[in-house]
Amino acid sequence: MKLWGKLLLEIRKSLGNDKTKLTEKDMLRHIITDIDRLDL
């Protein structure tokens, strides 16, 4: 899961948001509603 979040974050950065403060977990939050329960 963390790898998927990293991929999404890298895509976001490559589209012009290279100074984003979002994390891999933030990128997965819209897909997985209880992400905070997971140990990522």
Burial (Cβ within 10 Å: 0-12, 13-18, ≥19) of residue 31: exposed
Q: What is the pTM of this model?
A: 0.79
| Gyration radius of the chain's alpha carbons | 10
3-state SS assignment for residue 39:
coil
Backbone phi, psi, residue 23, to 5°: -110, 175
Query: In the block, which residue shows the tokens 């992400």?
Result: 35
pLDDT band at 6 (very low <50, low <70, confident <90, very high): very high
Q: Is the pLDDT of residue 39 over 90?
A: no
pLDDT band at 35 (very low <50, low <70, confident <90, very high): confident
Contact 38, 1 (CB under 8 A): yes
